[in-house]
Structure 1
């Protein structure tokens, strides 16, 4: 895939540690929104990297391993259902992105602070210089890498959540509002990990 040269453009302006940031799970009824912040090496591209939504499960999982192996630094941030209900999904998404930046570590576990952020369609409250890119997961290499890491990470969480909250089908639909999920909610009611602010119209589904 031919990505636009956002990283090169800002590197020419003097920035060295340019992180791509993306989230997954924003539209779910259940569980955390998860963000990834990642710094990829300049001049190297992993073949097959794309918007995570356009990749098969197997392809995402294969790329997940390759991206983590190649990354200079990576961080994961999360915001749970309680926080989403308390401050709304947009602000919770921003919280998870800032949390991901705070959690960035290199392969030796050393904290890494980026000096520039490329964010998929969001602007967050931080002193770090940033650029919001519309459809960033389609147009920017580091954001596409972040989208894959966040997606696979959250999918793995969904498998664990399925064990704790069976019968909702979380491992299959990942918490989205499928027919099966809506019917399960009508039958059993919400769990403690469902986003109550997202369920206000459940009776009319």
Structure 2
């Protein structure tokens, strides 16, 4: 067993409730009857998990890795992206790459918040900006990818500060200072992924509609 702090208990409960709400609103009958959806969700989960294996960190808990969650959101849509992210985090935790004590915190700050921000940026772009191929790539994928990894690192840094686990200098010097180095790479990863998908497999991408972005 493991000891949980008050914040970790709250995070566990909030994350459990959020996933339960998502599960309640997901159409599993459609999932069971659609081989395409099954392959996309499971394939995306495996791909993201494989990427998460490559992580670096000097201080326990403050390790860094690419997220790829913006591409996951654009590919699957909000609900399936949240479930796919939860599956990935669960497998990563079972495999020992993340701790069970941090499962709720990682779920809220490392999965739900980045996916939520990515979807908000997509939704804002779809309703408020010109519906153009390059707007989709640069705003919904490139910019959102940069924003969501910065958000995740800021939130996680704030969590460790509130817990008193590390001094501010340690959090800033060994973790937050890496944000400028990661945002462009994460943006490129998500931007290139979505560019390739909407060129070669646009039917796979839940949030990309030919009639809005191509038929002008």
| TM-score w.r.t. length of structure 2 | 0.31
Instruction: Pick the structure with more strand per residue.
Output: 1
In the superposition, the TM-score normalised over structure 1's length comes to 0.32
Structure with the greater relative contact order (CA < 8 A, sep ≥ 6): 1 or 2? 1
Which has the larger share of helix?
2
